[in-house]
Structure 1
Amino acid sequence: MKRYRFLLACLALLGSAGKGFAQNEADVLRFSRTDFGGTARTLGLSGANVALGGDAGTLLANPAGLGLFRRSEVTVSAGLNFNENNSTVYGTSALDNRNNLNLPQVGLVISTRKADDEEGDWRSGAFGIGFTRINNFNQRLAYNGTSPASAMKFGEYAAQQANANGLSPSGSNPFSLQDLAFDTYLIDEDAQGFFAPNLNDVNQFSETIQTSGSQNQWDLSYGASFRDKLFLGASVGITSLRYKRTRTYSEQDPATDITSLTLRDELLTEGSGVMLKVGAIFKPSDAVRFGVTVQTPTWYTLRDAYNTSLEVNYKNEPAAGVSLNQYAYTDPGEFEYNLTTPFRASGGAAVFLGKNGFITADVEYVDYSNGRLSADDYSFSEANQATRSAYKSAVNYRLGAEGRFDVFRVRAGYGLYGDPFKDSDIDQSKTFFSGGVGLRQNNYFIDAAYVHSQYKSLYAPYTNVDVNNSSSEYFGLETPLVTTENKNHNFVLTFGWNF
């Protein structure tokens, strides 16, 4: 069934403790699907900056745009972000949100230009260094519902994992989810294998997922102007990321002798990467510009730190002399691995309406199925195959316009980032609507922007790998499927100084 192939491919499974704890195809997409960033001017145009240049946002979009600078400048931006998530499972909806202050952009451009009467084809050049936030992970999602008899229960999932993968050797520390379930008496074993005893057909369940952190990029760029017609540039991007996730999953009365169970896991991913980018802008006339950029994959080295715990509370002793409150946890673990994100290519055009403003548009191509995980002592063949099976190429569109009224600027933009999934029950493309204003003076400028983004996503706390296996006792049991409407409101203010 398409739904379950999709879930297996795109969802991070809850509580899968141990080596390879969270390194799967979901992580490939999380760190590959980045947003546009830059100054408030760039954000007000929904990131449509490949053919424009002349703004610090070009450090991320197209290094060739540095060749259009005629003066040096410093920019600093401040941001305020509001995130809202409305999650629905089995007809029950829950709303949650999270807000944060941030520093989305800092840039320095040093420009040198020949005098108009000075000979030479290369008219100007500029070196730039810039910091840009390209992903914001600050988010909180919560849901709750009633699991029907047709749905797989968490205890059944734990037993399924134990039958498929076994337990850790006797006497060793708990290593996996099924170890925790066995140690807390949630699952038991007989001659036929592992099973979850006395489960109720219907029970209440809920989960809270809170994430924090960001993905940021430092760009070291140089751009030059050839006869003020052709502008060429190149950059080295150094990317850092920090992603922290805390998940708490609970069930009430999951079994006749259990009052509640709570599974909690924490994951911290940190690391850095490097990539290269080259670009060009061609200006056949003062009214038209064309731009293109090519970006190599970003090569990351990442480190995960993780731990998982399970608490099960009983009405009666699960075994003679055993406490009613059972608690087990895995030892904190660490794992280092590599991630290679997909190659990207972008093209853009801008049309200037004299001194009244301009219209600009970009298109970007990225194939998410080309993301790869690797490690020196661990094979990611299954995760990489799942990446190829789950994801596809996507085209991202950005459109922006600016109107100029003496020293004032008014901007608007629209963006559409394509759905990265091959098979999905919902369209998971992302849309952006933006607007902004600006004030330009001789030696300084101030810009403000607002960006509204929205998209839908799917999530399952666990999956039934035997849903289509008619010989399995779990045949036909559906997976709890959470649909979330994600909305984000981003306000950015940029201050700039020319010198």
Structure 2
Amino acid sequence: MKKLFLFIGALSMSFLNAQDITDALRYSQQDIIGTARFRGMSGAFGALGGDLSALQINPAGSAVFLSSYGSITLSSTTINNDASYNDDRFLNGFNNSSSSNFNFNQLGAVFIYDHYDEESSGINKLSLGLTYDQTADNADEFFTFGQSRNSIDSYFLTEAQGIPLDLISRRPGETPSELYAFLGETEGYSAQQAFLGHEAFVIEADDLDNPDNTTYFSNIAPGVFDQEYFYESTGLNGKFTLNLGAQINRDFYIGFNLNSHFINYDKVTEFFEGNNNPGSNVNEVLFTNRLSANGAGFSGQIGAIAKVSQMLRLGVSYESPTWYYIEEETIQRIETISDTDGRAVVNPDVVNIFPEYNLRTPESYTGSAAILFGQNGLISLDYTYKDYTAIELSSDFANSFTSVNSDIDNNLQGVSIIRIGSEWRNGNWSFRGGYSYEESPYKNELILGDKNGFSIGAGYSFEQFRFDVAYDYTEQERLERFFPNSGFNNFAFVDTYRDTLTFTLGMVF
């Protein structure tokens, strides 16, 4: 029977369940990404409209356009990460990592239909919008190093305790790939990790002659360990939007969005540990993990804008949860150097396919106000509330996410998001600035801090064309655990700074 599972494993398929609160939160957040005019005002467009990315805050904004309009947006982002190792008992390293990427992050058009008998219907204008917007840039990279008294052996020991030695020991002629795949098919994630640690000589059974042995010890002696951790992620999230809007009785705008979302996320981490501790049989460990995630989802939005007076506009909008369907895959590799066994490389080359699961993100509510100074300028304010405890994971494969959902309820919270923007005009020129603040979704802000940002921008209109440019900057601190929810709890503090230049070309037609 086991040979049948081994054959399936050779096809690089194994199934396990290891999603956690980090995954749930990662796919539930959205950044301020859009047109240069939108970013130049830090996204404070809920009561304004008249910009294609403003539709993502308040769908009623499409009906504010006077004529049909289209735009395309490109941006260049630089990410700087200052990473420091966690162990206060040692003078640990500080490292700065910098990376850049170039993205096509917005495309769309709004079509205006204003041939209506407004006296009989009260409708002055209808609008139809079709847009693509990037909602998250998943590019990130950092490197950290330092010394610690905690060894990676605790990761493998925790996973291995209670697992029979016979289960993680290869049969004659059996390859590491076959056993690793078999364990994934039949036993799950912990058994695979125990196998990796045992096969690479990091851990050993207390009783080698007993196939029913379920306790293990480390081949790495206690002491001081030199450790390095490298993290790199790529990909982006985005959504396609179908928008319908209307202007009613001149002073009231309503709108509705149907959104189709996608997720593309790839991450690789590499952990190295070295030691010269007396009595240590293993002196070096290199543990590599790769994660790929793809998802699709849908959501809806509804909003309204009211002209209260010539100077004051108010807006309100609601965004439903996004219901995602997500697939994740991982690949693992471990390499060790031992005084007694030399170099050991365990590279199963097997793709672990996680059971497909469902993610429901939080809904959000936005209230907005804008003060207009005729054609000269404006000041705009948005306030959004989002309760991250509403995140929920589930599965059609009878997987239990009770523990993860409980962690979400206990560790996350509702957050306030504030965006302030201003725009001033001089002839064909426009000048903009803005500020944004987003509360940490964690009750413990050491895990993930508040996000702060500011922006500036300018635009020039000529004939039916408009060219806009913006610069925005955000900063946020976070605690990055190397192996979350494991027996090895080392981490790094990471300060992230993002600088983005955005360019938009728009056209009235």
For the criterion TM > 0.5, the same-fold answer is yes
Aligned to 1:399, which of 397, 420, 428?
Answer: 420
Deviation at residue 328 of structure 1 after TM alignment: 4.3
Q: Report the CA distance shift for 1:238/1:455 in structure 2 as closer, same or farther (over 3 A).
A: same
Q: How does 1:384-463 map to 2 (within 5 A)?
A: 384-425=405-446, 428-462=449-483
Aligned partners of 1:99, 1:221: CA distance in 2, in Å?
Answer: 33
1:207 paired with 2:229, answer: yes
The residue type paired with residue 214 of structure 1 is L
Q: Report the CA distance shift for 1:98/1:254 in structure 2 as closer, same or farther (over 3 A).
A: farther
Partner of 2:122: 121
Tell me the secondary structure at the aligned position of residue 195 of structure 2.
Answer: helix
Partner of 1:279: 303
User: Does the aligned pair in 2 maintain the 1:314–1:324 contact within 8 Å?
Assistant: yes
Tell me the secondary structure at the aligned position of residue 27 of structure 2.
Answer: helix
Partner of 2:360: 340
Q: Report the CA distance shift for 1:254/1:140 in structure 2 as closer, same or farther (over 3 A).
A: farther
Measured against aligned partners, the alpha-carbon deviations of 1:307-354 in whole angstroms (never above 9, x if no partner) come to 11111111222xxxxx54342436212121111111111111000012
1:294 paired with 2:318, answer: yes
User: Does the aligned pair in 2 maintain the 1:85–1:95 contact within 8 Å?
Assistant: yes
Aligned partners of 1:305, 1:117: CA distance in 2, in Å?
Answer: 56
Q: Report the CA distance shift for 1:254/1:242 in structure 2 as closer, same or farther (over 3 A).
A: farther
Deviation at residue 441 of structure 1 after TM alignment: 2.6
Partner of 1:190: 206
Tell me the secondary structure at the aligned position of residue 33 of structure 1.
Answer: coil
Aligned to 1:155, which of 130, 135, 153?
Answer: 153
Aligned partners of 1:452, 1:179: CA distance in 2, in Å?
Answer: 45
Tell me the secondary structure at the aligned position of residue 32 of structure 1.
Answer: coil
1:241 paired with 2:257, answer: no
Partner of 1:70: 66
Partner of 1:34: 30
Partner of 2:498: 488
Percent of paired sites with the same residue: 25
The residue type paired with residue 361 of structure 1 is L
Aligned partners of 2:327, 2:295: CA distance in 1, in Å?
Answer: 6
Partner of 2:175: none
Measured against aligned partners, the alpha-carbon deviations of 1:21-78 in whole angstroms (never above 9, x if no partner) come to 3x21101110112112221101001011111011111221111011111100110011
Measured against aligned partners, the alpha-carbon deviations of 1:109-143 in whole angstroms (never above 9, x if no partner) come to 10011479976410001100111111001111110
1:314 paired with 2:338, answer: yes
Q: Report the CA distance shift for 1:465/1:257 in structure 2 as closer, same or farther (over 3 A).
A: closer
1:55 paired with 2:36, answer: no
User: Does the aligned pair in 2 maintain the 1:157–1:463 contact within 8 Å?
Assistant: no
Show structure 1 runs of 5+ residues with no match. Answer: 1-16, 318-322, 467-477
User: Does the aligned pair in 2 maintain the 1:83–1:97 contact within 8 Å?
Assistant: yes
Q: Report the CA distance shift for 1:285/1:312 in structure 2 as closer, same or farther (over 3 A).
A: same
Q: Report the CA distance shift for 1:26/1:465 in structure 2 as closer, same or farther (over 3 A).
A: closer
Deviation at residue 83 of structure 1 after TM alignment: 0.6
Partner of 1:329: 348
Deviation at residue 243 of structure 1 after TM alignment: 0.1
Tell me the secondary structure at the aligned position of residue 350 of structure 2.
Answer: coil
Deviation at residue 169 of structure 1 after TM alignment: 5.6
Q: Report the CA distance shift for 1:117/1:441 in structure 2 as closer, same or farther (over 3 A).
A: farther
The residue type paired with residue 76 of structure 2 is L
Aligned partners of 2:97, 2:348: CA distance in 1, in Å?
Answer: 28
Aligned partners of 1:249, 1:369: CA distance in 2, in Å?
Answer: 32
Aligned to 1:173, which of 179, 184, 190?
Answer: 179
**More off after superposition, 102-111 vs 327-336:** 327-336
Aligned partners of 2:115, 2:51: CA distance in 1, in Å?
Answer: 20
Deviation at residue 206 of structure 1 after TM alignment: 0.6
Aligned partners of 1:72, 1:216: CA distance in 2, in Å?
Answer: 24
Measured against aligned partners, the alpha-carbon deviations of 1:387-429 in whole angstroms (never above 9, x if no partner) come to 1111100000000000111110000000001111012436611
**For the aligned residues, what is the CA RMSD?**
2.0
Tell me the secondary structure at the aligned position of residue 269 of structure 1.
Answer: strand
Measured against aligned partners, the alpha-carbon deviations of 1:210-265 in whole angstroms (never above 9, x if no partner) come to 10000001111011001121111001011111000011111012762323111111
Aligned to 1:19, which of 12, 16, 27?
Answer: 16
Q: Report the CA distance shift for 1:182/1:237 in structure 2 as closer, same or farther (over 3 A).
A: same
User: Does the aligned pair in 2 maintain the 1:127–1:222 contact within 8 Å?
Assistant: yes
Aligned partners of 1:270, 1:480: CA distance in 2, in Å?
Answer: 28
Deviation at residue 481 of structure 1 after TM alignment: 2.6
The residue type paired with residue 374 of structure 2 is G
The TM-score with structure 2 as length reference comes to 0.87
Q: How many residues align?
A: 463
Aligned partners of 1:166, 1:54: CA distance in 2, in Å?
Answer: 65
Show structure 2 runs of 5+ residues with no match. Answer: 1-13, 171-177, 185-191, 208-213
Q: Report the CA distance shift for 1:483/1:84 in structure 2 as closer, same or farther (over 3 A).
A: same
Aligned partners of 2:266, 2:298: CA distance in 1, in Å?
Answer: 21
Tell me the secondary structure at the aligned position of residue 222 of structure 1.
Answer: strand
